[in-house]
């Protein structure tokens, strides 16, 4: 499964480390519960506790105010008939890191996300078994990023079919298989160099934060036995309906975050499991080589056109309604507006990427590491304009 021969040696070489780093997925604020990994990380991250629920949904009778289980690192609550959301709080532990959920119909259940660890995937399975004993028809990774897929081995060990976008297995192997057994010092050295070469204090901080996160990706990939989805979803054959008995889930694919993004909708109940196409109360994470700003904004426009009472379970951040979509769109607009001004003033892309100013009104919007989120959003916008 893992090609540890020529490919991994080649990408692990210092010369191509930058290319690999550019294709690395992010984690949100952190990762596993292996504390020894997190020395540099703790120094760099803002580990703020997060609410599981946006204030706008506090009075919504469809959403249970009390979780069925709350382990700190994640809680699970009802968001519809047979529909549950798993919401992570990485400030309290790294077992899950991303959000997920499950759908429990009369005949079968569908689990969403492999999370960042087997412990995280097992936690969600236990939560399902608290409310339903129906057989599990399958699990689904919304995309290949490691915080959504490193717990996939749980499904393999339990004989649960694992669905994902057809390109997900390949990208897991390319991105994380390639890190396994690689020379850590050689891999990280270009990032250490970029810290030394930073021309401003802001740039230096952004590069340090990036190094801390990339180091964690490396450590997580090296401590994980990779498991690949075995039910590829061909995006050209979507939407696909999955009948769970009284609940019809619809799997759809949209461009934007990773090139492998699929969502699960339950149109009859206006509930959407959006994966990382939705960061709730967070700046978008745009580092992926296949992330497209224009595609993502088009996707958000589509989400905004859906029922005004839609409940969204985001890939990260609190459960929200349409206001969460509106905020993410506004954040893209603001980044574009500032980037355009810089472009017109002759600021090159690489410099502009460090110069965005968070407006006062967005000061409580979380930023995952700058170089995974705002920085690449700006350089991708420049690229879309054909600018450098």
Positions touching Zn ion (CB under 5 A) are 145, 276
**Between residues 116 and 162, which has the closer beta carbon with respect to Zn ion?**
116
**Between residues 338 and 377, which has the closer beta carbon with respect to Zn ion?**
377
CB of 321 to Zn ion, least distance (A): 22
**Between residues 112 and 244, which has the closer beta carbon with respect to Zn ion?**
112
CB of 291 to Zn ion, least distance (A): 9
Q: What is the 3-state secondary structure (H, E, C) of the chain?
A: CCCCCHHHHHHHCHHHHHHHHHCCCCCCCCCCCCHHHHHHHHHHCCCCCCCCECHHHCCCCCCCCCCCEECCCEEEEEEECCEEEEEECHHHCCCCCCCEEEEECCCCEEEECCECCHHHHHHHHHHHHHHCCCCEEEEECCCCCHHHHCCCHHHHHCCCCEEEECCHHHHHHHHCHHHCCCCHHHHHHHHHHHHHCCCCHHHHHHHHHHHHHHHHHHHHHHCCCCCCCCEEECHHHCCEEEECCCCEEEEEECCCCCCCCEEEEEHHHCEEEEEEEEECCECCCCCCCCCCHHHHHHHHHHHHHCCCCCEEEEEECCEECHHHHHHHHHHHHHHHHHHHHHHHCCCCHHHHHHHCCCCHHHCCCECCCHHHCHHHHHHHHHHHCCCC
**Between residues 208 and 261, which has the closer beta carbon with respect to Zn ion?**
261
CB of 165 to Zn ion, least distance (A): 12
CB of 96 to Zn ion, least distance (A): 14
CB of 28 to Zn ion, least distance (A): 9
CB of 260 to Zn ion, least distance (A): 9
**Between residues 303 and 338, which has the closer beta carbon with respect to Zn ion?**
303
**Between residues 144 and 356, which has the closer beta carbon with respect to Zn ion?**
144
CB of 323 to Zn ion, least distance (A): 22
**Between residues 71 and 145, which has the closer beta carbon with respect to Zn ion?**
145
């Amino acid at each position: 499964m893992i090609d540890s021969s020529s490919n991994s040696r080649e990408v692990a070489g210092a010369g191509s480390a930058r290319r690999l780093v550019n294709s690395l997925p992010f984690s949100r604020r952190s990762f596993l519960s292996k504390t020894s990994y997190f020395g540099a990380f703790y120094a760099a991250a803002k580990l703020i506790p997060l609410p599981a629920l946006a204030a706008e949904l506090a009075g919504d009778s469809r959403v249970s105010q009390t979780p069925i289980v709350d382990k700190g690192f994640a809680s699970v609550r009802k968001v519809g008939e047979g529909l549950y959301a798993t919401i992570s709080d990485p400030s309290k532990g790294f077992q899950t890191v991303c959000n997920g959920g499950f759908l429990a119909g009369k005949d079968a259940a569908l689990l969403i996300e492999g999370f960042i660890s087997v412990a995280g995937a097992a936690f969600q399975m236990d939560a399902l078994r608290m409310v339903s004993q129906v057989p599990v028809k399958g699990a689904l990774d919304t995309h290949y990023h490691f915080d959504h897929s490193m717990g996939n081995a749980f499904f393999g060990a339990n004989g649960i079919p694992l669905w994902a976008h057809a390109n997900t297995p390949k990208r897991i192997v390319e991105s994380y298989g390639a890190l396994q057994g690689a020379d850590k010092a050689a891999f990280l050295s270009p990032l250490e160099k970029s810290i030394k070469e930073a021309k401003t204090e802001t740039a230096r901080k952004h590069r340090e934060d990036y190094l801390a996160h990339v180091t964690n990706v490396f450590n997580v990939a090296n401590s994980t036995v990779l498991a690949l989805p075995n039910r590829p979803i061909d995006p050209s054959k979507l939407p696909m309906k999955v009948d769970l008995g009284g609940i019809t889930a619809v799997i759809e694919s949209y461009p934007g975050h990773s090139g492998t993004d699929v969502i699960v909708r339950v149109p009859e109940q206006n509930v959407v499991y959006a994966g990382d196409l939705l960061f709730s109360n967070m700046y978008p994470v745009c580092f992926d080589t296949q992330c497209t700003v224009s595609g993502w904004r088009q996707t958000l426009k589509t989400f905004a056109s859906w029922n005004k009472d839609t409940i969204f379970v985001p890939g990260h951040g609190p459960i929200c309604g349409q206001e969460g979509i509106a905020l993410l769109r506004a954040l893209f607009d603001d980044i574009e507006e500032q980037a355009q001004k810089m472009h017109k003033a002759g600021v090159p892309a690489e410099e502009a990427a460090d110069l965005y100013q968070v407006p006062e009104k967005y000061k409580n919007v979380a930023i995952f590491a700058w170089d995974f989120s705002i920085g690449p959003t700006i350089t991708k916008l420049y690229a879309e304009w054909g600018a450098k």
